[in-house]
């Protein structure tokens, strides 16, 4: 339509020279225009993320070393490691660490196993596969907080459907107070998380399975391998990196998934089902930003270790693909 | 040798295998489907029971009397209409803006090589691993300083920042599937890069862009911690914030709660059903690609 160039080019436009001499000058103009384009296109994204994600993260990192509460927001004296001492002297902190390990491993292993099995079963085409995939995809549309609510109602000690089903099938005789007893509440929230997270593994692993070249299976067949051997000697080695990446990414996400616990138990009873991240949110809501930031910094360190592993693994995979 | 014999001997996982293994497969898939759908079924059943039937033994697995009193109560007793409008406005505006911004950034990352590109991708990836709520306190203070607390604008802004990284990575993947000859041709014809992007590339990538929009919309629609922190007055609450308010220490009105849950989940399920194919594509290409 309009032949005039857009705003980006106009800023770098010059009076049209009759056939510019080939060589350095035009190239420099070209690279400058290119740099301007890149900068202008990236600016909006960079500005938002810098101001509203990175700046709070950094000021939180600094605030971890100050007394900083919502009740006295203007007065923030330095306290050195005072906040960290408070965190480390808090007995509840250690139970949240234990819960976090349980929550991550207890969710991850069943998610991985069931997700892998689902992916293998979904691999061959069958008539309603598309519809099936859309249906088992549904948990994904539900927010973590709402998943917590759904399961909170199902595990209700008095009118919950879980107790009803268990009593109908004769597995228990009296209703169990699922969410009032920490020993029962932890498995319950982990079950809810498994319900939600299997889909992600199924999707990722299915995509990986479909990327294995057919020739490898043909070769394996010719060598007399059956399906089981082909699985261990062809499929698993081929998708190993994807599996490792998916597990790492998922570990990070589960660690950062206090939403579900927030909706299901609110960290209760008595803070005994908190994981580190949900506990941090509770402290934030109590208004002690300094202490929450100290806890946040500890979380950050742990996450950073995982993140480094993840990024190294992606790099390695890229090298392997080259 | 008949073909069935060959099929049975093949090592390819696409071969359906023996009859027994087929039966096992369908039983397992069926069991998982029931397990997946049951919680959603149960909340819907609860929502349509009259209040007296929710707390009644024996439990009804199908409502004996259907009633919409829980839904009516939501709009009469609670300001649920206001919360819905807030959520719709904030999620829609934020998702449109995020999608536009990520179109630009995703395009550059897909098409250009430049110094610092790796660092920018890394900075985006890191935000996917370090969640926003780690800095909830400092963010709240920043928003107070900017005068953006209890403002829809404020929530839109933080949601944009929250969604940009994943959205950029996802759209970058879609750009990489489109040959660059397309916009080159348009630019030779005298289009500027921006015009070429929106006139030529966007129509080609429409399904992927709509999927990215839906994904962003659902992320904002579902978000809880930022909205609980920034929207404290009743007139500004979003749906998840309101649901959080339904939880009091000892007593939850499960009639209202389940009705509200149904109204919250239904739109997202419909949207995801449309976009799931592309979200899967975006995930498998984008999330696993560094």
* pLDDT tens-digit readout, A52-94: 999 999 988 898 898 888 887 777 888 888 899 999 999 999 9
For the residues A148-160, what does the mean pLDDT come to? Answer: 93
* Domain A93-314 belongs in CATH node 3.40.640.10: no
Domain co-membership, B269 together with B186:
yes
Q: Is-contact A56 B142, C-beta < 8 A?
A: yes
> Is A13 a residue whose pLDDT tops 60?
no
For the residues A226-242, what does the mean pLDDT come to? Answer: 88
> Is A7 a residue whose pLDDT tops 60?
no
Q: Work out how many CB contacts closer than 8 A connect A with B.
A: 291
pLDDT at A27: 64
Which tops the pLDDT comparison, A19 or B14?
A: B14
Q: Which residues contact A86 (CB under 8 A, 6 or more apart)?
A: A291, A294
The answer to whether B272 contacts A141, with C-beta atoms less than 8 Å apart, is: yes
User: Smallest Cβ distance to A120: which of B13, B122, B165?
Assistant: B13
Q: What DSSP string describes A45-69?
A: HHHHHIIIIIHHHHHHHHHTTB--B
Joined together, the tokens standing for residue A46 give 């960079």
The answer to whether A149 contacts B243, with C-beta atoms less than 8 Å apart, is: yes
> Is A97 a residue whose pLDDT tops 90?
yes
Closest residue in A to B22 (Cα–Cα) = A121
Cis before residue A214, ω within 30 degrees of 0? Answer: no
pLDDT at A321: 63
Of the residues B31, B47, B67, which one is the last residue of a structural domain? B67
In angstroms, rounded to a whole number, what is the distance separating the alpha carbons of residues A210 and A242? 12
In angstroms, rounded to a whole number, what is the distance separating the alpha carbons of residues B154 and B158? 6
The answer to whether A134 contacts B141, with C-beta atoms less than 8 Å apart, is: no
- Please give the model's pTM, rounded to 2 decimal places: 0.87
> Is A177 a residue whose pLDDT tops 80?
yes
Domain co-membership, B102 together with B231:
yes
Mutate to test the interface with B, among A1, A7, A52, A298 (most CBs of B within 10 A): A52
Confidence of residue B180 (pLDDT cuts 50, 70, 90): confident
The answer to whether B284 contacts A49, with C-beta atoms less than 8 Å apart, is: no
Neighbour-count burial of B213, counting CB atoms closer than 10 A to its CB (0-12 exposed, 13-18 middle, 19+ buried): buried
pLDDT at A140: 85
In angstroms, rounded to a whole number, what is the distance separating the alpha carbons of residues A266 and B25? 38
Domain co-membership, B26 together with B152:
no
Place of tokens 């904002």: B220
For the residues B265-286, what does the mean pLDDT come to? Answer: 79
> Is B1 a residue whose pLDDT tops 80?
no
CATH number at residue B87: 1.10.3720.10
Distances from the Cα of A64 to the Cα of A67, A81, A100, A295, B135, angstroms: 8, 8, 22, 8, 11
- Containing structural domain, residue B166: 70-287
Domain ranges of chain A: 93-314
Q: Which residues of A touch B224 (CB under 8 A)?
A: 143-145, 259, 262
The answer to whether A141 contacts B271, with C-beta atoms less than 8 Å apart, is: yes
Q: Which residues of B touch A264 (CB under 8 A)?
A: none
What percent of chain A lies above the pLDDT cut of 70? 90
pLDDT at A2: 39
Over the stretch B78-121, which tens digit does the pLDDT of each residue have? 789 999 999 999 999 999 999 999 999 999 999 999 999 989 99
DSSP helix/strand/coil, A288:
strand
Confidence of residue B225 (pLDDT cuts 50, 70, 90): very high
> How far apart are the CA of A274 and the nearest CA of chain B, in angstroms?
15
Over the stretch A280-290, which tens digit does the pLDDT of each residue have? 999 998 889 89
Domain co-membership, B115 together with B178:
yes
Cis before residue B223, ω within 30 degrees of 0? Answer: no
B3: in domain: no
Domain co-membership, B44 together with B160:
no
Over the stretch A247-266, which tens digit does the pLDDT of each residue have? 988 998 899 899 999 999 99
């Amino acid at each position: 339509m309009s032949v005039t160039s857009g705003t980006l080019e106009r800023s770098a436009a010059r009076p049209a020279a009759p056939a510019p001499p080939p060589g350095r000058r035009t190239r420099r103009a070209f690279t400058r225009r290119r740099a301007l384009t890149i900068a202008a296109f990236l600016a909006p994204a960079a500005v938002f993320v810098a101001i509203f994600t990175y700046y709070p993260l950094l000021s939180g990192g600094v605030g971890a070393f100050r007394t900083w509460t919502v009740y006295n927001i203007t007065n923030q004296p330095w306290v050195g490691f005072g906040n960290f001492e408070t965190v480390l002297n808090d007995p509840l902190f250690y139970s949240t660490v234990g819960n976090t390990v349980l929550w991550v491993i207890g969710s991850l292993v069943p998610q991985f196993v069931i997700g892998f099995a689902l992916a293998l079963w979904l691999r061959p085409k069958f008539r309603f596969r598309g519809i099936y995939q859309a249906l088992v995809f549904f948990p994904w549309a539900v927010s973590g907080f709402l998943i917590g609510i759904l399961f909170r109602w199902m595990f209700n000690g008095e009118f919950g459907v879980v107790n009803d089903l268990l009593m109908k099938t004769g597995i228990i005789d009296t209703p169990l107070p699922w969410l009032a007893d920490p020993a029962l509440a932890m498995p319950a929230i982990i079950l809810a998380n498994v319900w939600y997270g299997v889909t992600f593994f199924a999707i990722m692993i299915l995509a990986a399975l479909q990327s294995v070249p057919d020739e490898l299976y043909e070769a394996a067949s010719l060598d007399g391998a059956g399906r089981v051997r082909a699985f261990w000697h062809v499929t698993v080695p081929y998708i190993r990196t994807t599996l490792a990446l998916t597990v790492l990414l998922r570990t990070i996400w589960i660690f950062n998934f206090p939403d579900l616990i927030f909706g299901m138990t609110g960290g209760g009873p008595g803070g005994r089902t908190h994981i580190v991240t949900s506990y941090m949110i509770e402290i934030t809501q109590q208004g002690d930003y300094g202490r929450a930031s100290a806890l946040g910094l500890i979380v950050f360190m742990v996450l950073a270790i995982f993140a480094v592993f993840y990024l190294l693994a992606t790099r390695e995979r890229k090298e392997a693909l080259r | 040798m008949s073909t069935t014999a060959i099929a049975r001997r093949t090592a390819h996982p696409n071969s359906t295998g023996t009859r027994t293994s087929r039966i096992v497969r369908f039983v397992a898939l069926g069991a998982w489907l029931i397990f997946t759908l049951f919680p959603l079924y149960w909340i819907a059943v609860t929502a349509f029971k009259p209040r007296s039937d929710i707390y009644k033994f024996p439990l009804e697995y199908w409502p004996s009397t259907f009633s919409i009193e829980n839904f009516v109560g939501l709009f009469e007793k609670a300001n649920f209409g206001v919360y819905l409008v807030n959520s719709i406005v904030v999620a829609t505006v934020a998702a449109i803006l995020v999608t536009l911004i990520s179109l630009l950034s995703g395009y550059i990352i897909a098409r250009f090589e430049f110094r610092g590109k790796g660092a920018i991708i890394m900075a985006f990836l890191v935000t996917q691993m370090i969640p926003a709520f780690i800095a909830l306190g400092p963010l709240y203070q920043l928003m107070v300083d900017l005068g953006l607390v209890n403002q829809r604008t404020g929530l839109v802004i933080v949601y944009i920042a929250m969604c940009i990284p994943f959205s950029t990575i996802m759209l970058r993947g879609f750009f990489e599937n489109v040959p660059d000859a397309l916009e080159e041709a348009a630019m030779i014809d005298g289009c500027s890069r921006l015009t070429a992007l929106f006139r030529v590339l966007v129509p080609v990538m429409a399904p992927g862009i709509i999927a990215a929009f839906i994904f962003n919309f659902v992320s904002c629609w579902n978000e809880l911690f930022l909205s609980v922190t920034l929207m404290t007055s009743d007139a500004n609450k979003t749906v998840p914030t309101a649901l959080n308010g339904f939880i009091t220490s000892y007593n939850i009105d499960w009639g209202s709660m389940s009705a509200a849950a149904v109204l919250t989940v239904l739109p997202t399920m419909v949207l995801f059903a449309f976009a799931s194919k592309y979200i899967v594509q975006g995930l498998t290409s984008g999330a696993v690609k560094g």
